[in-house]
Structure 1
Amino acid sequence: MSPARQPRQVTELGVFLRSRRDRLSPEEVGLVRGGGLRRTPGLRREELAALAGISIDYYVRLERGTERRPSPAVIDSLARALQLDDEELAHLRELATQADRHATAANVATSRHVPLGVILILENLRPFPAYVTNRIGDVLASNPGGIRMLAGISEWPATQRNVARFAFLHPGARDLYVNWEAQLNGVVAGLRRLAAVEPDARDLRSLVGELLVKSPEFARLWERYDVTRYKQGSKTLRHPDVGDLKVNYQVMRLEGADGHSLLSYYAKPGTPEHDAFLILDRLEPVRPDDPFAVSALESLDEDAPR
């Protein structure tokens, strides 16, 4: 491994430690704030090292990326001192494991091919809106309602349709998501977790670089370094076609599908949300030539050998 590539992966551990250290005030961990000007917004390095029961020199090496093999005991002590929740602790452990590994290949990328079985699942979920994404959030396949839930994304070419790109850069996203900030948090957290284990993946670096340049909101949240996972929950939407609705969703990882996930919305029959799903499922496509606009089975029929 070349010396130039190793620090980038190791440094991710230091970046995460620094982000959590900056969030904690001395008062929150039972310390008395001393007099004079504090240059750091949160805990000082020596304060965190003392709380974790490790030497300041050792902690500095961890944060700078020169210490590559922190023990599980040290990681757990730091987690307690930083008051990490379960997901943050899991992420810290993953970073510690990755710290002494070789950097991931720069050409890491998942296939855009969606297996026939998944296409059939999308079709049979109708009228529940559903779509499939790859590991960086590219929308690879959808049933009619699924693509319409991302109101306006069909205006973009299929290869540009990405959940993060839509949330931060599409002009309609801010109106669509009533709690826009919460939606953004989830999107950035997913990319942050992925960047920790695939720091050199070209497709991920390209997407993150684009969003850092084009969106101040993304840059702010990227710096904040949230890692919360959103596998299920609800969203309040102000949809241009069906109005205001609160929808539930479930995210499912597709095993054996090269990092793909399926997100499906759901609602009880007879509710306004279910009625809205029926409407979205039956709307005429914005672009009739769009492969996402026709049903999954119609797409398969067109591709079938004659």
Structure 2
Amino acid sequence: MNAKVRLGEFLLTRRSQLRPEDLGIPDYGERRRVPGLRREELASLAGVSVSYYTRLEQGQSLNASPQVLDAIARALRLEEAERLHLHNLARSSAADPGRRRSPAPERVTEATRQLLEALAHVPAILTGRRSDVLAWNRLGHALFAGHLDPGAPERPAQRPNMARLVFLDAHTRDLYADWPAKARAVVGHLRLVAGRHPDDTALHALVGELSAKSADFASMWADHRVMACTVATYRMRHPLVGPLTVTQQTLSQDPSLGQNIVVATTEADSPARTTLALLDQVTPQHGPARPTVRAGSG
């Protein structure tokens, strides 16, 4: 699917999700054939012509100005992450295909490894652009994926992917008491990343795989919701230590590469803090295996 189609589908989906009464538009009791706002109503709210908005939604208008996009975002009642997503989609639809480059392989710096190790008593994982787990500390592995090989992130071809785990792995699905909330957050984040990196073929392959294997993912992806996963609270049901409530915070580690560190914290003096301390005690102290460098190798 090209960028023009993605832009048009985003606008169409978000327009259909707005109710005229929420925007003060009278309907005079008339029955609408399709849900949401009409194109002319949205164009009026955004201060653009109906023909211009129609061309934009149909992928026939390029180089929309930032001011026009912001006006449309206000008319659609978009949140900040959604507004930025709209700008990203419009920018990619007007990009020169000849300038596209393949993304560089994702690597973990020694400084990041040291940071994960310093967070010894806080579950932490490093995720890449496509939600691949690039590294995790001992407690991060124990909390989020204790059923997997702790050394898996060190082997690029076998790296766990958090989106796959949430939708296709029974252990991870059971881990979240409110699984739909976690699933929507994952999909919203992938939408945001897809808008920033429209030519990432591996990312689109991941979306295609999840759409084919999970009806839940396909339904949520079609909703075109965008979400910046910065801070969220989840109730978890850990198979070893039982229920606990954690706050997952996503910290941008390298914006240029799309790498993030996800940490899970608990309230002081809470039952969840005690439960997490118990998980720390019952988890083996050795961390995941790290690649060794042979003498004389470059």
**Common topology (TM > 0.5):** yes
Which residue number in structure 1 is paired with residue 242 of structure 2? 243
Which residue number in structure 2 is paired with residue 126 of structure 1? 120
Structure 1 residues 305, 243: closer, same or farther in 2, change over 3 A? farther
Distance in 1 of aligned mates of 2:47 and 2:30: 25
Match of residue 10, structure 1, among 4, 16, 20: 4
Distance in 1 of aligned mates of 2:76 and 2:256: 36
Cα deviation 1:185-209 (Å, max 9, x = unaligned): 1111111011113223121011101
| Total equivalences in the alignment | 291
Higher deviation after alignment, 262-271 or 139-148: 262-271
Match of residue 53, structure 1, among 39, 44, 47: 47
Equivalent positions of 1:161-200 (< 5 A) are 161-200=160-199
Which residue number in structure 2 is paired with residue 93 of structure 1? 87
Shift of residue 212 of structure 1?
0.3
CA contact (8 A) 1:168 1:218 kept: yes
2:211 counterpart of 1:217: no
Which residue number in structure 1 is paired with residue 27 of structure 2? 33
Larger RCO, structures 1/2 (Cα 8 Å, 6+ apart): 1
Gaps of 5+ in 2: none
Structure 1 residues 305, 213: closer, same or farther in 2, change over 3 A? same
TM-score (norm 1): 0.84
- Identical columns (%): 36
Quick one: which amino acid aligns to residue 17 of structure 2? R
Paired residue secondary structure (1:221): helix
Shift of residue 270 of structure 1?
5.0
Match of residue 64, structure 1, among 25, 38, 58: 58
Distance in 2 of aligned mates of 1:261 and 1:304: 30
CA contact (8 A) 1:105 1:200 kept: no
Which residue number in structure 1 is paired with residue 287 of structure 2? 295
Distance in 1 of aligned mates of 2:98 and 2:209: 21
Quick one: which amino acid aligns to residue 130 of structure 2? I
Distance in 1 of aligned mates of 2:100 and 2:290: 33
Shift of residue 83 of structure 1?
1.8
Higher deviation after alignment, 264-273 or 19-28: 264-273
2:76 counterpart of 1:76: no
Structure 1 residues 104, 34: closer, same or farther in 2, change over 3 A? farther
CA contact (8 A) 2:92 2:198 kept: no
Equivalent positions of 1:14-25 (< 5 A) are 14-25=8-19
Quick one: which amino acid aligns to residue 250 of structure 2? V
Which residue number in structure 2 is paired with residue 204 of structure 1? 203
Match of residue 136, structure 2, among 139, 142, 148: 142
Quick one: which amino acid aligns to residue 135 of structure 1? R
Shift of residue 25 of structure 1?
1.7
Shift of residue 74 of structure 1?
1.8
TM-score (norm 2): 0.86
Structure 1 residues 283, 223: closer, same or farther in 2, change over 3 A? same
CA contact (8 A) 1:110 1:135 kept: no
Shift of residue 144 of structure 1?
1.4
Quick one: which amino acid aligns to residue 168 of structure 1? F
Root mean square deviation, CA, Å: 2.7
Shift of residue 252 of structure 1?
1.4
Match of residue 108, structure 2, among 101, 114, 131: 114
Paired residue secondary structure (1:252): strand
Shift of residue 178 of structure 1?
1.1
Paired residue secondary structure (1:299): coil
- Runs of 4 or more consecutive aligned structure 1 residues displaced over 6 Å after TM superposition: 104-107
Distance in 1 of aligned mates of 2:98 and 2:178: 35
Shift of residue 128 of structure 1?
0.8
CA contact (8 A) 1:151 1:240 kept: no
Distance in 2 of aligned mates of 1:243 and 1:305: 45
Paired residue secondary structure (1:229): coil
Quick one: which amino acid aligns to residue 187 of structure 1? V
Distance in 2 of aligned mates of 1:110 and 1:269: 41
Structure 1 residues 264, 101: closer, same or farther in 2, change over 3 A? same
Distance in 2 of aligned mates of 1:162 and 1:105: 29
2:267 counterpart of 1:265: no
Quick one: which amino acid aligns to residue 108 of structure 1? S
Distance in 2 of aligned mates of 1:305 and 1:282: 36
Shift of residue 213 of structure 1?
0.4
